[in-house]
Amino acid sequence: MKKRSSVLTLFLSVIMMLSLLSACAGNGNNAPDATNSGNKGSSNSGSELKKDTITALLPPVSANYQARFTDMEKEFNALYPHLTLKIEPASWEDMTQKLDTQVNAGSPPDIAWVGSTGISKYAALNVLIDLNAALSDEVKADYDEVAMKYFQLGNSQYGLPAYLAIHSIGGNKQFLEKAGIDWKNVQQNGWTYDQFRDAISKGVVKNDKGETTQYGFVFATSGVTSKDYLGIMAKSAGLPDYFDKNLKFSYTSKNFLGLLEAIRQMIDDGSMPKELSSIDAGKRWNMFLTGQTMITGKGLASFENSARLNNEKIKANDGSAVADSIEAEYIALPTPTFNGADYIPTAVVDGYIALRGKKDPSEEHIKNIGLAINFLSSGSIAANYSNELFLSPITESARNAAVLEQYPRNEENVKADQIMMSKAVPARTDIPTDLAAEALKIETEVIVPKLQALLANEISPQKMYDAVKAAAIKSFGEDGIVVD
C-alpha cells in the first residue's frame, strides 16, 4: 500500500511539473513573431499556436497578381502553418463598392487594398486597426520612410504601402516627333500650361471632311477615374493638397479657378474631345493604341510595357492585339504646370489597410493580420508586382528578391520617372481626420459631379468654382478657407 502511494505521489508530481512547463512556454512566447518579414517563417512550430484565418479583398494590382493568389495563400501557410490566408479577388471597378458594402455590414475583410487617400474615409468610420504594436522595428525599417507615411494618420500606422508610383501622362513617340515636340527636353525640364496647350494643338489631325481623327490630348474622366484629371493637374497648379499648411481649404484659391478655366479651354480649342466626360480608362487607352490621340492620361510607368506587348502582338499578326491598333512607343511625360506654380507630381501610394468589424479583434488576431499584411507588401510578392508595373520596390526585402521575368525598358523613360519621383512631396500626416473626411465629402458630393458638368459644357468654370467655394464655407466657415 505504501509503495502504491509513493507511485501515485510521483505521478502527480510529474503532472504538476508538465503543467508548469506548459504554462511557462505559453506565457506570450508563442505569439506570432511580427519581426519576421514576408520572406521568413516563424521560429515557433505551427502546432503550438492557435489556428487563425486572415481574410483579404484584393484587386488585380498587376497583370499576374490575382493569378498568383493560390500560390500566395500556400506560401503564407508554409511560413505560418497555424495561419490561413484567404484572398477574395475584386475588379478595379467594384473594389470600393465591395469593401464599402462589407464595412457597412460590419463584416469587412481583415485586409483590403486602398489608395492612401482613402484612409481618412475609413478612419472616420472607426473601422481601421492601428498596426504599430503588431509590427516590429525590423519590419518597419524594411519600408521606405516616405511611402510608410502615406499609410499613417497622426501616430497611427493603419496599414502598409504596396508601391509608390507617379501619375503622369504619356505620348506616342512618333506623333510627338511629327508635331515637332522635343519630348526629351520635356522629360528633363517639364513644361508650362501655355507650352503644353501649344503642343497638343499641333497633335490634332483632321480628315478631308474636317473631322478630327487624332486628338492632341485625351484623359480618362469617367467611372473610377472621375476625379483623377482634376486632382493630378491641381498638384502642379499651386494646389498640392486640399488644405494649405495652415489647414485652410485650398480649393477656394484663385489658382483653382485658373485650373478650371484651363481644363475647359483645352476642350474648346479642339485639342481634347468634346465627349471627354464619357471617356473611361479603357477607352482612353484604346484611343492611344489605335492612334486617336498623341498624348494620353493618366499615365503610369507600366503603360510602356503594355504598349510594348501590344506591339509584339501586332508583329506576330495573331489577332490578339487591340483591334485596329498601331505600333506605338510610349513616352513618359510630366504633367504641365499652371498658374506659374512649381511642378509637383501626384505620388500614388496604394497598399493594404487593416480593418475591424463589429467586434474588436483579439491582440493575437491583430498580430496575425500584421504578419499577413507584411507578407503581401514585401519580399518576392512585392518584387514581382513592382517589376510588372515598372516600379522600383519600396522595401529592401523586395529590392533583394528575385523576379520571375525581366522586361526591356526605354532608358529615357527610366530617367524621366526618376526625375518625377525625386520631386514627389511627402504625405501630409498633420491633417486631422475630421477635416480630411469633410474634404472627401465635398469631393464626392460637389467637386466630382461639377467637374463632369464642366467637361460636358453644362456649367462654366466660374459656376463650378462658386459651388465648391459655397460648400467649403458651409463645411469650414469663412475663416477655414483660402482667400487670395
The predicted structure's pLDDT at residue 426: 79
User: Closest Cα partner for 109 from 35, 159, 37, 34?
Assistant: 159
Where are the chain's structural domains? 46-164+348-422, 166-347+428-480
Using pLDDT thresholds of 50, 70 and 90, give the confidence band for residue 158: very high
The predicted structure's pLDDT at residue 421: 83
Percent of the chain with pLDDT over 90: 81
Q: Which of residues 145 and 111 earns the better pLDDT score?
A: 111
Does domain 46-164+348-422 sit in CATH 3.30.450.40? Answer: no
Spell out the alpha helix ranges (H) of 117-253: 119-124, 137-141, 145-149, 173-178, 183-189, 193-202, 228-235
Tens digit of each residue's pLDDT (9 = 90 or more) over 453-465: 999 999 999 999 9
Q: Is the pLDDT of residue 116 over 50?
A: yes
The predicted structure's pLDDT at residue 88: 98
User: In CATH terms, are 46-164+348-422 and 166-347+428-480 the same topology?
Assistant: yes
Average pLDDT of the chain? Answer: 90
The predicted structure's pLDDT at residue 120: 86
Residues 6+ apart with CB under 8 A from 94: none
Grid cell listed for 94: 467594384
- Read off the pLDDT of each residue in 153-168 and give the average, rounded to a whole number: 94
The CATH number of 166-347+428-480 is: 3.40.190.10
Q: Compute the distance between CA of residue 371 and CA of residue 291 in angstroms, rounded to an integer.
A: 46
The predicted structure's pLDDT at residue 5: 43
The predicted structure's pLDDT at residue 202: 98
Tens digit of each residue's pLDDT (9 = 90 or more) over 405-420: 988 999 999 899 989 9
Taking the model in full, what pTM does it have? 0.75
